[in-house]
């Protein structure tokens, strides 16, 4: 446990503008090459989620630039500040990325936390590097934060950072949010470094999860593996002198629903949506899938169900088509190369069996597209298929709903997403049950416009009420109150 005194209550002198965000990646991207290269804020993602909280004088973001450092030197030309946001770089070498990010974070933690749907690989040298990199993030955080500053640490790559920060800076208020699920203790107990991870997280004043289930799983792990006795949403953590209270809660993340809606209504996006429908063959029923190409997303399962539903006559081949957009992801990790092969095998089989010249049954694109093109696809599609085997939340489903400005469209949603805890008006499915999935595709095809619009209305109310602004505000407000 930290060798530092237990901090007293945070006083009113803490400035809410002194927010330090610590996340694996900096929210910036390089534009241009060579001497002309400059940096700009990258659109979307966590940075837009935190925009309202970041607006203020002294917000700093700590993370990796994406540039591989030869031996720990800073990224050439990286600014110390961009559009009012302070930038604190943690340089990473190729070996760091290989062992900490691709290895421990994405080869061990990611699959374990997603119900071990792929086998987690535990390498001791990768954990050593994970500790080392987490320490470097914590060091930059400790150096950047003003007295009594608020620091918000994000996600599974940085679970040791809260405790490492507290050891150096007990004056700070520390929040941690996990974007992916926290698994049941029976699974978590596999992790050779389970104790270090739990103690790392308990360095925070507030530990936030996407769902109540994840928060409960964490509390059970604390009880079983650390022999502490959480009471309600609080854990009393023993310190050198007395105890320190850690709050645990669920904070389901949302999207900037209004900006998706506004983009969906622009004439350019509407025109592009009509064009996409034409390009897909003017079928009356267009199914859409949009995912990072990840084995947790159940992409192959939904395409198999679609193919079988057409083959079995549950869906009419003359009436339906499918568009699957997959963004390439983590291609240096073995399991990700495998899921690509699996997905492409299913696409090939379904199109081989059911396609016609110039008219495949599944249109498959493995590429990232612009926000405008993505929104045009959401507007063009009659139904969205979201079938992960496990997903912390899933933002794609919320984006689709926000874009259905005329209350049309349908959502087929896996029970195993965080989103399913909120979006009860979706057609909920167990993605492991192929027959149920096929029947649900049939139910979507035969639903009346009235049923669909009633469901969509319910979905939209939820997505607009629980937007990203509310998520960030409620986490930060709870963190502010966490020590009082």
Which residues within the stretch 138-177 sit at the binding site for ligand ADQ (CB under 6 A)? none
135 binds ligand ADQ (CB under 6 A): no
- Are the C-beta atoms of 163 and 36 separated by less than 8 Å? no
Question: In the set 153, 201, 248, 290, which binds ligand ADQ (CB under 6 A)?
Answer: 290
Please, which residue, 253 or 257, has the CB nearer to ligand ADQ?
253
Strands (E), 299-355: 320-327
Stretch that binds ligand ADQ, among 27-35, 124-132, 199-207, 391-399 (CB under 6 A): 391-399
DSSP letter assigned to residue 96: H
- Are the C-beta atoms of 244 and 6 separated by less than 8 Å? yes
- Are the C-beta atoms of 337 and 331 separated by less than 8 Å? yes
What dihedral do alpha carbons 359, 360, 365, 366 form, nearest 10°? -150
Residue 189: closest CA among 113, 244, 81, 138: 113
DSSP string, 128-170: HHHHHHHHHHHHHHHHHPPTT-EEEEESGGGTTHHHHHHHH-T
Which residues within the stretch 51-110 sit at the binding site for ligand ADQ (CB under 6 A)? none
Q: How far apart are the first and last CA of the chain?
A: 22
Question: In the set 1, 369, 428, 447, which binds ligand ADQ (CB under 6 A)?
Answer: 369
Stretch that binds ligand ADQ, among 11-19, 256-264, 274-282, 393-401 (CB under 6 A): 393-401
394 binds ligand ADQ (CB under 6 A): yes
Stretch that binds ligand ADQ, among 83-91, 303-311, 385-393, 455-463 (CB under 6 A): 385-393
With left for phi above 0 and alpha for psi between -120 and 50, is residue 83 left, alpha or beta? left
Question: In the set 384, 395, 429, 479, which binds ligand ADQ (CB under 6 A)?
Answer: 395
Per-residue exposure over 436-472, b if at least 16 CB sit within 10 Å of its own CB, e if not = ebbbbbbebbebeeeebbebbeebbebbbebbbbebb
253 binds ligand ADQ (CB under 6 A): yes
Question: In the set 325, 381, 385, 413, which binds ligand ADQ (CB under 6 A)?
Answer: 325
Which residues within the stretch 305-324 sit at the binding site for ligand ADQ (CB under 6 A)? none
Please, which residue, 154 or 166, has the CB nearer to ligand ADQ?
154
Burial class (CB in 10 A: 0-12, 13-18, 19+), 62: buried
Minimum gap (Å) between residue 401 Cβ and ligand ADQ: 13
14 binds ligand ADQ (CB under 6 A): no
With left for phi above 0 and alpha for psi between -120 and 50, is residue 16 left, alpha or beta? alpha
Please, which residue, 396 or 441, has the CB nearer to ligand ADQ?
396
292 binds ligand ADQ (CB under 6 A): yes
What dihedral do alpha carbons 166, 167, 169, 174 form, nearest 10°? -10
Please, which residue, 16 or 43, has the CB nearer to ligand ADQ?
43
Please, which residue, 174 or 395, has the CB nearer to ligand ADQ?
395
Please, which residue, 288 or 309, has the CB nearer to ligand ADQ?
288
179 binds ligand ADQ (CB under 6 A): yes
Which residues, listed in sequence order, are joined to residue 472 by a DSSP beta bridge? Answer: none
224 binds ligand ADQ (CB under 6 A): no
Minimum gap (Å) between residue 179 Cβ and ligand ADQ: 4
Please, which residue, 136 or 400, has the CB nearer to ligand ADQ?
400
Residues of this chain that interact with ligand ADQ (CB under 6 A) are: 179-180, 253, 290-292, 325, 327, 368-369, 374, 391-396, 399
């Amino acid at each position: 446990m930290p060798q530092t005194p237990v901090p007293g209550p945070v006083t009113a002198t803490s400035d809410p503008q002194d927010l330090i965000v610590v996340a694996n990646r900096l929210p910036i991207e390089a534009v241009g090459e060579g001497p002309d290269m400059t940096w700009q804020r990258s659109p979307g993602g966590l940075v837009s989620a935190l925009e309202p909280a970041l607006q203020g004088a002294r917000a700093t973001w700590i993370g990796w630039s994406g540039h591989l450092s030869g031996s720990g030197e800073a990224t050439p030309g990286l600014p110390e500040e961009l559009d009012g946001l302070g930038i604190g770089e943690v340089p990473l070498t190729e070996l760091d990325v290989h062992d900490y990010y691709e290895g421990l974070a994405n080869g061990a933690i990611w699959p374990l936390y997603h119900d071990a749907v792929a086998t987690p690989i535990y390498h001791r040298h990768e954990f050593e590097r994970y500790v080392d990199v987490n320490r470097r993030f914590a060091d930059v955080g400790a150096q950047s934060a003003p007295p009594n500053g608020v620091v918000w640490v994000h996600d599974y790559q940085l679970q040791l950072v809260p405790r490492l920060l507290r050891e150096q800076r007990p004056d700070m208020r520390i929040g941690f949010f996990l974007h992916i699920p926290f698994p049941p203790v029976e699974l978590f107990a596999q992790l050779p470094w389970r104790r270090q991870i739990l103690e790392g997280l308990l360095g925070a004043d507030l530990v936030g999860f996407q769902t109540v289930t994840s928060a409960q799983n964490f509390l059970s792990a604390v009880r079983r593996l650390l022999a502490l006795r959480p009471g309600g949403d609080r854990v009393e953590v023993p310190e050198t002198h007395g105890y320190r209270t850690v709050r645990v809660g669920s904070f389901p993340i949302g999207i900037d629903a209004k900006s998706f809606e506004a983009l969906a209504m622009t004439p350019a996006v509407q025109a592009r949506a009509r064009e996409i429908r034409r390009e897909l063959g003017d079928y009356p029923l267009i199914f859409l899938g949009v995912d990072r190409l990840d084995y947790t997303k159940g992409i192959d399962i939904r395409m198999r169900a679609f193919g079988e539903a057409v083959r079995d006559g549950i869906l009419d081949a003359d009436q339906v088509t499918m568009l699957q957009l997959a963004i390439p992801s983590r291609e240096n990790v073995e399991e990700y190369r495998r899921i690509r092969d699996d997905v492409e095998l299913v696409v090939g089989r379904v199109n081989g069996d059911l396609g016609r010249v110039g008219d495949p049954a599944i249109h498959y694109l493995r590429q990232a597209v612009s926000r405008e093109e993505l929104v045009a696809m959401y507007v063009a599609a009659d139904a969205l298929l979201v079938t992960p085997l496990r997903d912390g939340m899933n933002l794609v489903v919320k984006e689709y709903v926000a874009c259905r400005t005329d209350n049309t469209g349908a959502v087929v949603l896996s029970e195993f997403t965080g989103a399913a805890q909120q979006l009860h008006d979706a057609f909920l499915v167990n993605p492991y049950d192929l027959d149920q999935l096929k029947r649900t595709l049939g139910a979507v095809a035969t639903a009346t416009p009235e049923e669909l619009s009633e469901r969509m209305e319910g979905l939209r109310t939820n997505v607009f009420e629980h937007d990203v602004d509310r998520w960030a505000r409620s986490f930060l407000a709870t963190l502010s109150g966490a020590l009082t």
